Structure 1
Amino acid sequence: MSNRIAAHSVIVGVDRSPQAREAVRWAVHEAVGRNAPLAIVHVTDSLPAVASTLDWSVGQIPPEVVQAQQDAGSTILAQAISLAHDCASAGERPEIIGELRFGKPAPTLVGLSKQAQIVVVGCRGETGWQHRRLLGSVSTGVVHHAHCPVAVIHDEPASSPSAQQSPVLLGIDGSPASERATEIAFGEASWRGVDLVALHVLADSTATNGFFAMEWSALQSTTQKSLAERLAHWQKRYPTVNVSVEVEFENPVRQLLARAEDAQLVVVGSHGRGGFTGMLLGSVSTAVSQESRVPVIVARGGS
């Protein structure tokens, strides 16, 4: 199939799930904010996968089965495109295209991520786990392997005017991945016209490592000053963004999730070091993606 997806698009993966509908709504808003085209992608099983499921060879698949599969995928895609147009206001409508692909959803979206600004996925899909604290297999695969930032969207939209004025929350620890997250967070806060809260958490292990021998207030003040200096060049690049730097001592996941309750978006690195000890996929960033009620962007790649 020819690729109609423009470079630097916002790409959203869709299926029949409620989370996918919320992902489309969020992706429309994101595409407008980034002044980017929006590509809505549905991935359906390839013919070999269908044949394997039915215990047939590819050549044994009746044409009507192939057509029914294509029709089902086209219907899902058409509904998502219609929703996207409904969500876009007349004066702020991104270019919207739909793309039906055949294969496995996660690898397909990972492949497409090479040309995307950001990939948007629901936290779980129609065949995924139904527990809200578990990411589905597709979202997990994309978060772990994408070549660009990944936004994970839950099914609890923040649509009230007050929620739209809530800040962007950045988890920061000084690692290279955290620096990429910082760049994304400033950009998101800038086009949304909201404040940015940069949160650094001195993890529970800090005390056992001997650092807590310092007076907490002194340690907090020193760390805040250091982080503010690190953020200074981003503040110059985005002068309209009001930034507050906060330093806390606790479990990083608990702190980020608690602060996320007052944010409209959380941005974290794909892995980290320092204050976010062990901030690897499968640890802090995955836990926050799983449990946050608000959208979470995991900073991956260089786009």
Structure 2
Amino acid sequence: MMGERHPVVVGVDGSVAALGAVSWAAEEARRRGAPLRLVYAFELPFRYPPGVVEQDSLRDALRREKDGYLEAARAQALQTAPDLGIEAVTVDGTAVEVLVRESETAAVVVVATRGHGGFTGLLLGSTSVGLAGRAHCPVVVVRGASDGGPVVVGVDGTPVGEAAIAFAFEQAAALGTDLVAVHSWTDPALANALAAGYLAVDFGLLEEQATVVLAERLAGWQEKYPQVRVTRQLVRDHPTRALLHYADRARLVVVGSRGRGGFAGLVLGSTSQHLMHHAACPVAVVRTEAPHGGAGVAPG
């Protein structure tokens, strides 16, 4: 591993989408003063089983192909950050297995939303759950433009989401941009169901409580990052719609990997997958256990 700083790791597969992820990762590495690690996951295709084609010849051909992918990725990274320290490696294994192992020593793992080769379908279905749920550092899914706008963070109102808030503040400070903290405190569908059942619910009180919770979750971080201007948004809507609304004008959306309240099941359910597939900007997924990604420790 290059240097003493934890590298920014990016998955490479030769696709145009992956080159966009490389650009994002190179800029992130430049800001951190960290090396960039380009990783190609090498696995023989299932459609060419032993006996159908000569395995050694196939492996050699695929390895020559990956060399071209890595060189293109290196050129893309240097175009973004000319003085960046870069390491390019090929690792045997599936995309998720490889990147989960890489995340053990990475500051951030960066992937594209779609691609081909070693990272085909990386963020489709159960594969995305495996990576986001098992990574040891924040995972950034690059999709859409990210040139301007604030960092948006989903706040679920529990200590579990602390790592996501920490990462969001860190990113906003590094980018010199604002932070928008979004807390979805009730779902209109739930409110309608309660009303139809003639249950007495004091929504004014619920909103007041949500205001206090949001302030408590942000207080320490605002003190640690006084240069970051924070806008608090209490949203009476489904978390998916709330975050997608703010993602339209965001530079990055940050969410925790698990939680309850307004963001229950954000990564392991349909909400996270919808966000990954439809957000107009990159999406960062941060697990509670983020030992070296710059998040996860409450401010003192």
TM-score of Structure 1 vs Structure 2, range by shorter chain: 0.7 to 0.9
Q: Give the whole-Å Cα distance in 2 for the aligned partners of 1:242 and 1:147.
A: 29
Kindly indicate whether residue 239 of structure 2 is the aligned counterpart of residue 255 of structure 1: no
Q: Is the alpha carbon distance of 1:87 and 1:296 closer, same or farther for their aligned partners in structure 2, counting shifts above 3 Å?
A: same
- TM-score, normalized by length of structure 1? 0.84
Deviations 1:140-197 (A, max 9, x none): 532232121100011x3334xxx2xx11000001233311100000000001011111
Segment drifting more, 221-230 vs 241-250: 221-230
Query: 1:39 is paired with a residue of what secondary structure?
Result: strand
- Distance in 1 (CA, whole Å) between partners of 2:245 and 2:207 is 19
| Paired residue total | 283
Q: Secondary structure at the match of 1:213?
A: coil
In the other structure, the counterpart of 2:266 is 279
**In the alignment, structure 1 residue 97 sits paired with structure 2 residue 87:** yes
C-alpha distance in 2, partners of 1:67/1:259? 47
Is 1:294 the counterpart of 2:292? The answer is: no
Find the aligned partners of 2:133 and 2:202 in 1 and give their Cα distance.
37
Change (3 A) 1:200 1:51: closer
- The yes-or-no answer on 1:42 pairing with 2:40 is yes
Tell me the equivalent position of 1:16.
14
User: Following the alignment from structure 2 to structure 1, what is the Cα–Cα distance between the partners of residues 55 and 270?
Assistant: 43
Give the aligned residue type for 1:152: V
Give the counterpart letter for 2:133 in structure 1: H
Deviates more, 1:200-209 or 1:112-121: 200-209
Structure 1: gaps spanning 5 or more residues: none
Q: Deviations 1:81-128 (Å, cap 9, x if unpaired)? A: 01100111x5xx332211122221211111111111110001122264
**Distance change (3 Å), C-alpha of 1:102 and 1:254:** same
Residues 140 and 167 of structure 1, relative CA distance in 2, 3 Å threshold: same
Quick check: 1:53 aligned with 2:48?
A: yes
| Matching residue's letter, 2:108 | I
TM-aligned CA distance change 1:61 to 1:184, over 3 Å: same
8 Å Cα contact 1:12-1:23 kept in structure 2? yes
- Shift of the 51–232 alpha-carbon distance from structure 1 to 2, 3 Å rule, reads closer
Structure 2, unaligned runs of 5 or more: 293-300
Q: What's the secondary structure of 1:281's corresponding residue?
A: coil
Letter in 1 for 2:243: L
Structure 1 residues 138 and 6, CA gap change in structure 2 (3 angstroms) = farther
Q: Percent identity?
A: 37
Distance in 1, matches of 2:267 and 2:45, equals: 35
Q: How far apart in 2 are the matches of 1:255 and 1:199?
A: 8
Equivalent residue for 2:139? 150
Mapping for residues 215-254 of structure 1, pairs under 5 Å: 215-216=203-204, 219-254=206-241
Residue 11 to residue 212, structure 1, CA distance change in 2 (3 Å): farther
RMSD: 2.7
**1: distance between equivalents of 2:21 and 2:173?**
21
Q: CA deviation at 1:5?
A: 8.1
User: Which residue pairs with 2:180 in the alignment?
Assistant: 197
Aligned-partner Cα distance in 1 for 2:64–2:137: 31
Tell me the SS of whatever aligns to 2:145.
Answer: coil
Give the Cα–Cα distance (whole angstroms) in 2 for the partners of residues 225 and 119 of structure 1.
Answer: 33
> In the alignment, which residue of structure 1 is the partner of 2:170?
187
TM-score, normalising length: structure 2: 0.84
Residue from 90, 110, 114 that aligns with 1:120: 110
Q: Distance in 2 between matches of 1:8 and 1:34?
A: 9
| Other-structure match for 2:160 | 177
Deviation at 1:285, TM superposition (A): 2.6
Post-superposition offset of 1:31: 1.1
User: What is the aligned partner in structure 1 of residue 67 from structure 2?
Assistant: 74
Alpha-carbon distance change, 246 to 212 in structure 1, aligned in 2, over 3 angstroms: farther
